[in-house]
Amino acid sequence: MATEAYRQLLEELVPDDAKGHAYAQLIALGMSRRPSKVGRNVREIGDRTEGRARQAIDIGSSAENPLSFTVITTVAGNEP
């Protein structure tokens, strides 16, 4: 529900804006000028309208300490 409201509002033109900007355009301009002040709110809107950004996760594998997996399967009727 909030996601759809954000999407609609971002597309709307800002009332009384001389250049006819949409809310999304003004948010982008604000981020380029003061990223630390508006970042959290913009991140919230972005997460809801575009999905969260992917994150890299380091699981500690290296050439000296490679990651290994053990796969255990069972076949119906042949349980170990």
- Cα gap 5→49, rounded to integer Å: 9
Of the listed ranges 14-18, 31-35, 47-51, the least confidently predicted one is 31-35
Distance of CA 75 to the CA centre of its chain: 40
Reported pTM: 0.49
CA gyration radius, the chain? 23
What DSSP state is assigned to residue 44? H
pLDDT at 38: 64
Decide if 63 contacts 69 (C-beta within 8 A): no
- Going by pLDDT thresholds of 50, 70 and 90, the confidence category of residue 13 is very high
